[in-house]
Structure 1
Amino acid sequence: MMENSRSGRTEPAGPGPRTDSDSGLGPGDRADFDAFVAALDYPMFIVTAARPDTGERSGCLVGFATQCSIEPPRFLVCVSTLNHTHGVAAAAPVLAVHAPDSRQHPLAALFGEETGDRTDKFAHCAWTEGPAGVPLLTDCPRRFVGRVEDAIDLGDHTGIVLAPIEVPEHSDPTRTDLLTYADVQDLAPGHPER
């Protein structure tokens, strides 16, 4: 049995991370699936978090994120379990989700290539403190702050469900020049993939 950290409920433990051999894909299908996914051009996000008990801050570049409910409004961000931000986000009551534009490659590089295990990323960018101490990136006003509602084990990522609690008035939703997966293909992850 596993305790859900947000609800305190005890739930049956899942089967654990899947491997290629038990993913349901037949021989050769994994390459076809990888090609299908590689052709998609997702928007990229920078997720920031702060632990209320220690004040530790962290943030990372995230490619797996989406609105997952209209009513009530909910947003899902998936954070790699290898990432320094994972531990901080697991203890944070809120997260900030920033949508950088296509000109913000250097900011994406800071949060995608550096790791909080070795680098204080916030010493290299402008930020202010938001609700529950979450860092808000000054140069990335298209963002929202969300209260953590649930965390879901998704294998090598944890899905964190957020209920939006604050969206700044100066966040311009009409801009469509989002930084995308294609824009960051040149970045090397701070924590290499398995």
Structure 2
Amino acid sequence: MQSNAVMENSTSSFIPRLPLEEGDPAVDGRMFRRCLGQYGTGIAIITTEANGRRAAVTVNSFASVSLEPPLVLWSIAHTSRSRELFSSSGCFAVNILSSKQMDVSRHFSSKLEDKFADAVWASGDFGSPLLDGCLAHFECETYSLVDGGDHTIIIGLVKRASRFEGEPLLFSQGQYSIADSHPAASPTPEASGTKPDTTAEGTIVSQIFEAHHLLSTKFEEHRSAEGLHLSIARIIACMYDRPGLKIDQLAVATHLGQRDTEDAISELLERGLLFASGGGYSLTEAGRHLRVAIQKRWIAFQQAQIAGIPEADLRATIRTLSKLIDQNTIAE
């Protein structure tokens, strides 16, 4: 336990940071969601089947409750079309997505009438669909339903659990991400008795992810200066190049979830930066001016970041990244 002297010293040296935004969640629900988005989570698809009907929803509300008995929970909105079936079916399965299943997450987040038609799955031992390629499955018997505001909290008794090799798909700050060991939490190669992998194939992909994270975090200051956050900036950039897109198309093009896309659209409409047009949306003149302003900041940011790097190194990096992009681009 800290002594009073240490605690007083810590308090006197503490300098509070100014928040990017703050307010009453009851008044500003979208601000509340963005604050919640600071807590990174895994992604799960909950499935059920009863009386010939199947349902699936993508959630990040999954959590463990108890080991004895083995209980888990998740929540579903009262407005969800699947709520009635999940509440009455008596069973469900939790499918934990792997880092290779971002497209599966988007597919089951869509408004398709039959989400199982184009999915690879099999019925589990307790009747609920199990999706192929997941990190883990939890087959559950419904244990209890709890009212939670505008959601129903569903607690399940786990009857069977299984896990597979792979890395988790994560969702944080309005975007998909993957897990990586924190440098401060990982033993040094010398301490672990292993030599660091200095080959190109051992370092380049992890360094690409690290560079992307660091640069995106640093550029956040420029987005904030223009009154933007990440999901808004992505929607504006996409709309500038491709006006008239619908919400479902924007969710795919920006790699944002359906709900985050809908929130961003609502905010842009309120701010007069967007207008509805023929079933889709386009930027207003103010929205286009804002896109130009953030683009100028982006160009200056890029120039500052690569200043001093030899031209030959830049060209080699561009060639490598172009090859990686080409070999991982799925033809439409």
Tell me the TM-score normalized by structure 2.
Answer: 0.43
Q: Measured at CA, do residues 131 and 167 of structure 1 come closer, stay the same or move farther in structure 2, by a change above 3 Å?
A: same
**1:89-113: CA deviation from partner (whole Å, max 9, x where unpaired):** 1111210001101221111011112
1:186 aligned to 2:276?
no
Whose radius of gyration is greater, 1 or 2? 2
Query: For the residues of structure 1 that align with 2:156 and 2:119, how far apart are their CA atoms?
Result: 25
Query: For the residues of structure 2 that align with 1:38 and 1:179, how far apart are their CA atoms?
Result: 11
1:104 aligned to 2:174?
no
Could you say what secondary structure the match of 1:49 adopts? Answer: strand
Could you say what secondary structure the match of 1:114 adopts? Answer: coil
Cα root mean square deviation, aligned = 2.5
Tell me the TM-score normalized by structure 1.
Answer: 0.71
Between Structure 1 and Structure 2, how many residues are aligned? 158
Structure 2 residue ranges without an equivalent (≥5): 1-21, 178-254, 264-332
2:155 aligned residue? 161
Higher relative contact order (CA 8 A, sep 6+): 1
Q: Is the 8 A contact 2:126 2:139 kept in 1?
A: no
**1:108-157: CA deviation from partner (whole Å, max 9, x where unpaired):** 01111225xxx111111011112343111123251110110000111221
Query: For the residues of structure 2 that align with 1:120 and 1:163, how far apart are their CA atoms?
Result: 27
Query: For the residues of structure 2 that align with 1:33 and 1:84, how far apart are their CA atoms?
Result: 24
Task: Kindly indicate which of the two structures has a greater share of residues assigned to helix.
Answer: 2
Q: Measured at CA, do residues 176 and 139 of structure 1 come closer, stay the same or move farther in structure 2, by a change above 3 Å?
A: closer
The percent of aligned pairs where both chains have the same amino acid is 24
Q: Is the 8 A contact 1:146 1:165 kept in 2?
A: yes
Structure 1 residue ranges without an equivalent (≥5): 1-26
Q: Is the 8 A contact 2:48 2:129 kept in 1?
A: yes
Q: Aligned letter for 2:58? A: L
1:143 aligned to 2:137?
yes
Query: For the residues of structure 2 that align with 1:76 and 1:157, how far apart are their CA atoms?
Result: 12
Q: Measured at CA, do residues 33 and 188 of structure 1 come closer, stay the same or move farther in structure 2, by a change above 3 Å?
A: closer
Deviating runs (4+, > 3 A) in structure 1? 31-36
